[in-house]
Chains A and B, each alone.
Chain A
Amino acid sequence: MNVARAAPSAALVAAMLALPFVGSEYAVAIGFELLMWIALTQSWTVLSGMTGYISLGHAVFYGLGAYFVVLTYGTVPLWLSLPLAGLLNLLFATAVSLPVLRVRGPYFVILTFGLSELVKYVVLAVEAALGEFGRMVFGVPGVIALYWIMLALAVAATVLVELVRRTRFGQGLLAIREEETAAEAMGIPVVRYKMLAYGLSAIIPGMVGGVMALRTTYFEPQAAFDPIVSFTILTMAIIGGSDDARGPVLGTAFLTLLSELLWARAPEIYLIILGVALIAFVLLLPQGICGWLFPPRRPAT
Chain B
Amino acid sequence: MIAFLLSGQLLVAAIVTGTLFAVVALGLNLVYGTMRLINIAHGELVMVGAYAAFVGFSAFGISPLLCTIGAGAITGALGAALYLGLFQKLFASPALARRLEANSLLIFFGASVIIQSLVALGFSRTARGYRYLDTVVHLGDVALTANRLASFLVSAALCIAALLFLRFSVYGLAIKALIQRREAAGIVGIDVERIQLASITLGFATAGVAGALVSMTEQITPFMGFPYTITAFIVIILGGLGNLAGGIAAGMLLGFVEVYGVALTSASMSSVLTYGVFVGVLVLRPEGLIGRSGAAP
Residues of A within 8 A of B (CB): 54, 56, 99-100, 102-107, 109-111, 114-115, 117-118, 121-122, 124-125, 128, 231, 234, 238, 267-269, 271-272, 274-279, 282-283
Contact = CB atoms under 8 A, between A and B. Distances in A.
Contact of A114 (B113, B230, B268, B288): B230
B182 to A, nearest CB: 17
Nearest to B283: A99
Contact of B282 (A103, A124, A128, A268): A103
Contacts of B101: 105-106
A118 B272 contact: yes
Contact of A272 (B103, B117, B282): B117
B111 interface: yes
Interface stretch (B165-173, B186-194, B273-281): B273-281
B118 A282 contact: no
B272 A103 contact: no
10 contacts: A99-B286, A107-B282, A114-B278, A117-B275, A118-B275, A125-B269, A231-B113, A268-B121, A271-B117, A275-B112
Contacts of B278: 114, 118
Contacts of B96: 283
Contacts, number: 112
Given A107-B288, A121-B272, A231-B113, A279 B107 contact: yes
Given A125-B268, A271-B116, A275-B111, A106 B275 contact: no
Given A102-B283, A272-B117, A282 B106 contact: yes
Contacts of B233: 110
B105 A109 contact: yes
Given A106-B38, A272-B118, A278-B109, A117 B283 contact: no
* Top 10 A-B pairs, shortest CB-CB distance: A118-B275, A275-B114, A278-B110, A107-B288, A275-B113, A275-B110, A279-B110, A268-B117, A102-B286, A121-B271
Contacts of A114: 230, 275, 278-279, 282
Contacts of A117: 226, 230, 271, 275
Nearest to B116: A271
B40 interface: yes
Given A103-B288, A110-B105, A272-B117, A282 B110 contact: yes
Given A106-B104, A275-B111, 17 more contacts: A56-B109, A102-B286, A103-B286, A104-B286, A105-B102, A106-B38, A115-B275, A122-B272, A234-B106, A268-B118, A269-B121, A272-B114, A272-B117, A276-B114, A277-B110, A279-B107, A282-B110
A283 B86 CA distance: 10
Given A107-B288, A272-B114, A279-B110, A125 B272 contact: yes
Contacts of B118: 268, 272
Interface string B255-297: 0000000000000110110011011001100101100000000
Given A107-B286, A110-B40, A274-B113, A268 B275 contact: no
Interface of B: 38, 40, 90, 96, 101-107, 109-114, 116-118, 120-121, 226, 230, 233, 268-269, 271-272, 275-276, 278-279, 282-283, 286, 288-289
Nearest to A266: B121
Contacts of B288: 103-107
Contacts of A275: 109-114, 117
Contact of B283 (A54, A56, A103, A271): A103
A110 B234 CA distance: 11
A278 B41 CA distance: 14
A279 B111 contact: yes
Contact of B120 (A99, A102, A111, A268): A268
B258 to A, nearest CB: 13
Contacts of A99: 283, 286
Contacts of A272: 113-114, 117-118, 121
B102 A106 contact: yes
Q: Which of B40, B102, B107, B117 has the most CB of A within 10 A?
A: B117
Given A104-B286, A275-B113, A282 B103 contact: yes
Contacts of B271: 117, 121, 124
Q: Which of B101, B113, B114, B269 has the most CB of A within 10 A?
A: B113
A224 to B, nearest CB: 16
B289 to A, nearest CB: 8
A234 to B, nearest CB: 8
A85 B75 CA distance: 45
Contacts of A109: 105
A261 B7 CA distance: 56
A295 to B, nearest CB: 18
A271 B113 contact: yes
Nearest to B41: A275
B279 A115 contact: yes
Contacts of A102: 283, 286
B114 to A, nearest CB: 4
B50 to A, nearest CB: 18
Q: Which of A54, A114, A115, A121 has the most CB of B within 10 A?
A: A114
A267 B269 CA distance: 30
Contacts of A274: 110, 113
